[in-house]
Amino acid sequence: QVQLVESGGGSVQTGGSLRLSCAASGPNYKFTYMAWFRQAPGKEREAVAGILTSFDETYYTDAVKGRFTISYDSAKVTLYLQMNSLKPEDTAIYYCTAGLLDTWPRSWSRPSAWDYRGQGTQVTVSS
């Protein structure tokens, strides 16, 4: 069974940085497409960043462009999200997803387009 395990979340002040990791394991665990989503209390899950792992083709939601960087280490089979200049509105549970069920890149930002999702890691940014 495929497993995605996130780590690296925590509490920081405004302007701080965090680096999230997502380790994949299980059968057929090397994915062509992966992404990060987040969900804040009382809000719907939203896309943060997506990546075509073999070519490092990346996409970002407007709210994080210039501050977040998604990357993938094929040797470690691990997805990363470097988050800089964090803001209180970045506070959410961050989820790693893999196994795109629809067309790239048109569908990457839809939560329902992904087959696998990790358990999430909490990021809290205080002002």
- Give per-residue pLDDT as tens, 24-36: 988 877 899 999 9
Single-letter amino acid code for the residue at 127: S
How far from each other are the two terminal CA atoms of the chain, in whole angstroms?
40
**Close Cβ partners of 31 (under 8 Å, ≥ 6 residues apart):** 24, 53, 98, 99, 100
Please report which confidence band the pLDDT of residue 104 belongs to, taking 50, 70 and 90 as the band edges.
very high
- Give per-residue pLDDT as tens, 3-59: 999 999 999 999 999 999 999 988 877 899 999 999 999 999 999 999 999 988 999
Mean pLDDT along residues 55-70 = 96
Query: Measured on CA atoms in the order 105, 107, 113, 114, is the torsion positive or negative?
Result: positive
Mean pLDDT along residues 87-112 = 96
Q: Count the Cβ atoms, other than its own, within 10 Å of residue 71.
A: 15
